[in-house]
Amino acid sequence: MHIVYPAVVSALLFSVGIYGVLARRNTILVLMSVELMLNAVNLNLVAFDVWLGDRLHSGQVLTLFIIVIAAAEVGLGLAIVLALYRNRRTVDIDQLRDLAESDTSGDPAEPAASGGPADLGTSGDPADPSTSDDPASPPARRLGEPAVAGDSAATAQPVRRGGAL
């Protein structure tokens, strides 16, 4: 078996994963792309383990470890995505722009304070042509509206508890 074959396949797979991470808007799709990249690494490890004939099977064992870690990562990642969705009513990664300094700077609490449904209007940043120029209404708005009633009840719960504490 030429080692070049699995190595090239893994390189292509990794590049596809990079494209997915950089180009996809939905956070869950980004997570999938990360899985693709991890699998490319796994393939590399297995191929070189076979090629080197390692007596300790370090390549395959590391593959197993990576699979475990990937499972943990997906679990945590999805938990973060869910928390994000509860707060922002969106999982679109290019609408999460708190890293940038807003022009009405000096009030760092502003984006967080206006979390929830009210954030939809402001987070549709006019500086971003990909959202504001879109003729179709942003998915977050379309998604958020039917969910407001149920989720606001769900999110209102801990707030009340926090206040009681």
Partner 1 sequence: MTEAVPSYLSPTGQEIVFLLLGAVAVGSALLVVTTRQLVHAALWLVVSFGALAGGYLVLTAEFVAWVQVLIYVGAVVVLLLFGIMLTRAPIGRSADLDSGNRWVAAVVAAATAAVLVTMVIDGFRTAYTPLRPGSGAAKELGASVFSTWVLPFEALSVLLLAALIGAIVLSRTDIPGGSPPEQTGGS
Partner 2 sequence: MTIFPLLAIALPFVAAFAGLLLSRWPHRRPASTAGPVTGSGANARAAWIAVVPTAAAAVLALWLAWEPGFAFLEGARPGPAVGRTYGTIGTGAIPISLTLQADDLSAILGVLVTLVALAVQVYSVGYLHDDPRYPSYSAFISLFTSAMLLVVYAGDLLVLYVGWEIMGLCSYLLIGHWWEDKGNSRAAIKAFLVTRLGDVGFLFGIFVLGAAAGSFRIADVLAKVPEMSTGTLVAATMLLLAGVAGKSAQVPLHTWLPDAMAGPTPISALIHAATMVAAGIFIVARLFPAFQGARPTLDVLAVLAALGMLGAALAALAQDDLKRVLAYSTISQLSYMAGGLAAGSDSAAIFHLLTHGAFKALLFLCAGAVIHHVGSNLMTQMGGLRRELPVTFVTMTVGFAALAGLPPASGFFSKDELLLAMDHALSGGGLTDAAALLLYGCALATVAVTGAYATRAWLRTFFGAARVVALPEPEPGTAHVIDVREAPRTMLVPIVLLTVPALLLGLAGGLHVDLGVAAIGVVLALLGAGVVYAFWRSDPLADPARLLGPLRVPCEQAFYVDGVYSALFVRPVLALARLVVRTDDVVVDGAVRGSGRSARGLSGLLRLAQNGNVQLYVSGVLAGVLLIVVGAVVFT
**Residue numbers of the site for partner 2 (CB under 8 A)?**
18, 21-23, 93-94, 96-101, 125, 127-128
Question: By the 8 A CB rule, do 134 and 92 touch?
Answer: no
Give me the least distance between CB of 102 and partner 1, in Å please. Answer: 13
Nearer of residues 23 and 67 to partner 2, judged by Cβ: 23
Can you name the residues that pair with 26 across neighbouring β-strands? 92
C-alpha–C-alpha distance, residues 153 and 160, integer Å: 11
Record the tokens describing residue 24, joined without a space.
């996809």
132 contacts which partner out of partner 1, partner 2, none, CB within 5 to 8 A by kind?
A: none
- The item of partner 1, partner 2, none sharing an interface with residue 29, based on CB under 5 to 8 Å by kind, is partner 1
Q: Which is nearer to partner 1, 98 or 103 (CB)?
A: 98
**Running DSSP on this structure, what letter comes out for residue 118?**
G
Buried b (16+ CB within 10 A) or exposed e, 46-72: bbbbeeeeeeeeebeeebeebeeebee
Residue 97's binding partner out of partner 2, partner 1, none, with CB under 5 to 8 Å set by partner kind:
partner 2
Residue 51 CB, nearest approach to partner 1 (Å): 5
Cβ of residue 148: shortest distance to partner 1, in angstroms? 11
Contact status, residue 82 vs residue 75, Cβ threshold 8 Å: no
CB of 100 to partner 2, least distance (A): 3
